[in-house]
Structure 1
Amino acid sequence: MTRTELSRCRWAQSDALLAAYHDAEWGVAERDPRALWEKLMLDGFQAGLAWITILRKRDAFRTAFAGFDPEIIARFGEQDIATLLGNAGIVRSRAKIEATIGNARAYLAMRDAGEDFSDFVWRFVDGMPVISDGGKAPTRSLASEALSAALKQRGFKFVGPVIVYAWMQACGLVDDHEARCFRRVTS
């Protein structure tokens, strides 16, 4: 069976870019703290938009946000915000841009306090991906609600329980691949 003939989750069938993302990234257990943070920032930018919009702009986001280096982003000021608001390659939302800058500062504060971001988020699923039943995936869970609250307590923004759940799916904290999907973990 070729990659184009594989049975994928329904959401990944309408677009080649979505299919490639699904096949290579979505649901893969991410353990790198900085990569987890980047993906959370992108999911925050998705709020109110389709994921394909963010996926198509991901390279532009990475360029605009200095490779999602929290050390650099945390130092962004008003001129940087103005530049980002003028960048047609990204989602130009002042609130989301300012949240990303604040979230970089929150991420660094956690790190500086000795709290590893990866260890922090993975403890909400006891360190192992939660494997769903392969049916219709929820839009939030008790874990996403708790993780959202903990992130907000640390100063993060655009991290509501629905955004956090979508991010948990993307980063493999939960496996919500459909039962018929070739990427689904069965045990």
Structure 2
Amino acid sequence: MRGDEADRLDDERTDPANAERDRAELFLVLHAQNHSRISAFVHTLVPSWQDAEEIIQDTLVVLWRKFDDFDLSTNFFAWAARIAQYEVLNYRRVNRRKRVLTFDDDVLESLAATAIRQLNDIELEREALEICLQKLAPADREIVRARYQSGGDVHLVAELLQRTAGHAQRVLRSIRSSLIRCVQQRMAEIGA
């Protein structure tokens, strides 16, 4: 009976439908993790919001179509940003008359390189902040959550602390200073 179960599992792993589903799930996870950076990258290169959104959609289609070419040992965002950059160039070529603000291709290349560096730095800082938040005392994490969750403000923190708004502001300032030092230290450790 044990052999039958193992054979069934092997069949499921080699079933093309399962492989395609796994491929689609992996793509969706990688895209979800990087969508905001890809979107910010395109918006950096394209002055029109509507044009940028169209390019983002075109980029998504190309990313999916070329996903089999993506090397999983490399950086998905870098790969996606390069494809997005080509989509921007293609969009510019196809819509030459529509352009209001024009950069030549060398300027666009420079902007793209700068945007990728900055977006990578922001992601590293976000990751460092997540680590630093976890290092906070649970009570301090709760204070940060109360302040920065949707609708949170200093008065909510004051209620949580059962103190005045002025006291809450001082506590928040101290926590923010601690987080800033922690993030700066982590960024220095990784050489960013």
Do they superpose with TM above 0.5? no
Tell me: higher relative CO, structure 1 or 2? Use CA pairs within 8 A at least 6 residues apart: 1
Please tell me the TM-score bracket, short chain as reference. Answer: under 0.3
Q: Which has the greater radius of gyration?
A: 2
Higher helix share: 2
TM-score scaled by length of structure 1: 0.28
TM-score scaled by length of structure 2: 0.27
